[in-house]
Structure 1
Amino acid sequence: MEPHQDNHPPLTRGMTLLFACACGIVIGNIYYAQPLLAAIAHSFGRAPTELGYLVTLTQLGYAASLLLIVPLGDAVNRHTLIVRLLMLNVVALVAVTFSTNFTMFVVANVAVGFVTCSTQLLVPFAASLADARSRGRAVGTVMSGLLLGILLARVAAGAIADGLGWRAVYGIAAAMVFVLTVVLAVKLPKDRRDARLDYAALMKSLVALVRAQPLIALRSTYGALVFACFSLLWTGLTFLLSQPPYSYSEGQIGLFGVVGAVGALAATSAGRLVDRGHGNAATGLFAAAVLASFALIAAGAHSLAALIAGILLLDVGVQGMHISNQSVIYALAGNARSRVTTIYLTSYFIGGALGSFAASVAYGIDGWRGVCVAGAALAGVLIVSWLASQRAGVRQVTQ
């Protein structure tokens, strides 16, 4: 059994749930805008499709911080780093709330994306506290919180915006993160480490990790493709639902996050499958679910039932794939889990940013059908990548 890292006490159930709640609260900050695109666009005199690029920019800000900030989690005091990032998150959310023009709004949102990387310091922190036999389950639980945060953020944003306007969404988010900062400053396990690697050495070691573990690069590719599918759907969905035949309000659009939240329940199960040595087969199953979902989603242009079923199937596939990926790579990482997180999630959110961008372009070219064709194409590439890895003999390594 691998020892606990840095002489921390073992991860308790209560601490696992705190990590999960923290991840859910913080990650929601970069997804509140999705059901609000039409309302935000109207307030700044912009076209709704133009706001699709806002999601892309925010995710790119997040991806940049994953690359530049998260590697520090292997070298510095994680407690201090996480708390300081949360404090900056509060400042950025306040700036969004009181933005007076579109440029200020965009810049503040990119800043929100950049400092939200604290979530991806919490996930490997939890993995380092768990023992080898339960690590997949612990990662799955924490990631369930994060994924529920992504999906339920849309529900909360839509409901609040219907009654109080979109600015209230970000004001309330700032208050929530402030309270969370205080709680984590007290409850988060103290990290006694001082820097052991300089920053340049940390960044160079990312390349060495990929060369030493080709499976990390493979799983990063899976992650980029599957999150591109996810972001493409949820960005394009706002365009579909805000227009005839649906013509839904922000609150009604946000309620679709409840449907997607069911998919997050697959996360813990995926982690357990990896713990038992079945992660490779689970990967193929989840990839097939993503591909199949777009047939239902395409029919959703005129059928609410088909749309809901497709969203549910897509989210099960996406979240299950994501947890399978992370459970596998954390088993390889040892004391380099923050750097492995950087490699994987930088790819993941670049994929998400490209998916959001593709949704805006595809919808502008061919409406909902264009979005679904693009999604099916990405899912097809994912399936081909998985099949090719089986033939090449790139297999999962488990604990």
Structure 2
Amino acid sequence: MGRGTRFLLAVVCGVAVAGVYAGQPVLAAMGRDLGVPADSVGWFVAAGQLGYLAGLVLLVPLGDMLDRARLIAAHLGLVAAGLAATAAAPVAWVAFGGLAVAGVFAVVVQTAVAYAASLSSPGERGRDLGVVTSGVVVGILGARVVTGSLADLWGWRSGYVALAVLAALLCVLSLVVLPADVRAGTERYGQVIRSLGGLFTRPVFLRRGLVAFFLFASFGTLWSGLALPLSGAPWHLSETQIGLFGIAGLAGALSAARAGRWADAGHARRVTGVALLLLLGSWFATGQLGWSLLPLVLGVVVLDFAVQVVHVGNQHVLTAVYADRTSSTIGGYMVFYSLGSAFGATATTALFDAAGWTGSTVLGAALAHCALAAWALNDRATDRAGQYVRTR
């Protein structure tokens, strides 16, 4: 797979996932405009996540049947439609509907990851997945910077307009640039769905999925809740200033660029454990938000570094073990991601309303501890499967 293809797929992932997370720095503004109570604004993020969950189950398995290049283009067009509806929403239910549609078809991310895995040679799969999935992290965190800045200039809707235009342009570009997926399978839809269900009985898949659930619940706790204390006393930051914390997250995530190489070398399990320890430690720093912003910046950098390392390692192992059905495997794995992110988004806003940032911090740390415990309980022999496949 050439550099141009890797870069395009990374951009596709970034724009698609940005639509799900673009509301994080402007939740308060969206709630005021659309009449949603403060303790329920987390549902703007959760709506996209729940749509994403439905897409993972119903749409991602199509990648094991059809030409993934064409699927990528089609899904991008529908992401653009959902984001445009959100931008134009006159009432809350229209915004929720638009975000759900954008979330359903944002599973183009998983189709792109599976497409990248199918084009990669075994010795370079980790590197290619690392580049492509870096687009996901850039999209999640970069959306905070862009939408926060645009919201101060033209209101919260402008960020969704910009993302809708980008998704539409990428739809056309993907049709022109991406080569046909000659490895697409010929199974029927029902067979593929049953195959997806069967993955949930496999030990390696379940263990990696459980780690992902707690990992992204902790991640969502930070990023869906952070705007609330920063916009209030004693900081009173604007949407633009809040969005700039995404730069710290980007620095952390991009510093994990070698995560794929570490996985290629057979170190996925060991590196995952170290990263989860860092994730747990990051919450000690973010818990100091009440008196200083500097520990928060450090915590954000460490948390996003840890999340990216674990995420790439998980996908490397799973696409190696289940190389004959990468779309279904990535889709099933991301069910855990989606459920975890939705839980983190809703729990942190509700808990903040009751217990302030201390409550959100305790929640995030507890979830990180659960992720570490799930990793520690893994059977070492089965978790070496990724290395076994690599050297077979």
TM-score in same-fold range (> 0.5):
yes
1:38 has 2:28 as partner: yes
Give me the whole-angstrom Cα distance separating, in 1, the residues matched to 2:184 and 2:276. 41
- Give the structure 1 partner of residue 253 of structure 2: 264
- Give the structure 2 partner of residue 24 of structure 1: 14
- Give the structure 2 partner of residue 201 of structure 1: 191
Give me the whole-angstrom Cα distance separating, in 2, the residues matched to 1:108 and 1:280. 39
Deviations 1:52-92 (A, max 9, x none): 12211211111110111001100112122221111111211
- Give the structure 1 partner of residue 234 of structure 2: 245
* 4+ runs deviating over 6 angstroms: none
Identity in percent: 36
1:313 has 2:297 as partner: no
Is there any run of 5+ residues in structure 2 with no aligned partner, and where? none
Name the stretch that deviates more: 261-270 or 321-330: 261-270
- Amino acid of the structure 2 residue aligned with 1:281: R
Give me the whole-angstrom Cα distance separating, in 2, the residues matched to 1:27 and 1:383. 26
Select which of 118, 134, 145 maps to 1:144: 134
Name the stretch that deviates more: 202-211 or 115-124: 202-211
- Amino acid of the structure 2 residue aligned with 1:380: H
- Give the structure 2 partner of residue 161 of structure 1: 151
Native 8 Å contact 1:267 1:323 kept in 2: no
Counterparts of residues 93-242 of structure 1 (less than 5 Å): 93-192=83-182, 196-211=186-201, 213-242=202-231
1:282 has 2:282 as partner: no
* Alignment: residue pair count: 388
- In structure 2, the CA distance between the partners of 1:334 and 1:31, relative to structure 1 (3 Å rule), is same
- Amino acid of the structure 2 residue aligned with 1:168: S
- Amino acid of the structure 2 residue aligned with 1:176: L
- Give the structure 2 partner of residue 8 of structure 1: none
- Amino acid of the structure 2 residue aligned with 1:299: Q
TM, length-normalised to structure 2? 0.95
Native 8 Å contact 1:34 1:235 kept in 2: yes
1:296 has 2:285 as partner: yes
Task: Return the offset for 1:391.
Answer: 6.7
1:365 has 2:354 as partner: yes
Deviations 1:266-293 (A, max 9, x none): 4431111110011111010010011101
Name the stretch that deviates more: 177-186 or 379-388: 379-388
- In structure 2, the CA distance between the partners of 1:132 and 1:73, relative to structure 1 (3 Å rule), is same
Deviations 1:159-215 (A, max 9, x none): 11111111111111111111111111100111346761111111111233344x421
Give me the whole-angstrom Cα distance separating, in 1, the residues matched to 2:184 and 2:277. 45
- Give the structure 1 partner of residue 3 of structure 2: 13
Deviations 1:95-143 (A, max 9, x none): 1111111111111111111111111100110111010000000000101
1:74 has 2:58 as partner: no
Native 8 Å contact 2:68 2:184 kept in 1: no
Cα RMSD between the aligned structures?
Answer: 1.5
Is there any run of 5+ residues in structure 1 with no aligned partner, and where? 1-10
SS of residue paired to 2:5: helix
Native 8 Å contact 1:266 1:320 kept in 2: no
Give me the whole-angstrom Cα distance separating, in 1, the residues matched to 2:327 and 2:230. 38
Task: Return the offset for 1:390.
Answer: 5.0
- Amino acid of the structure 2 residue aligned with 1:17: F
Give me the whole-angstrom Cα distance separating, in 1, the residues matched to 2:280 and 2:258. 20
- In structure 2, the CA distance between the partners of 1:74 and 1:300, relative to structure 1 (3 Å rule), is same
1:58 has 2:58 as partner: no
Give me the whole-angstrom Cα distance separating, in 2, the residues matched to 1:390 and 1:201. 29
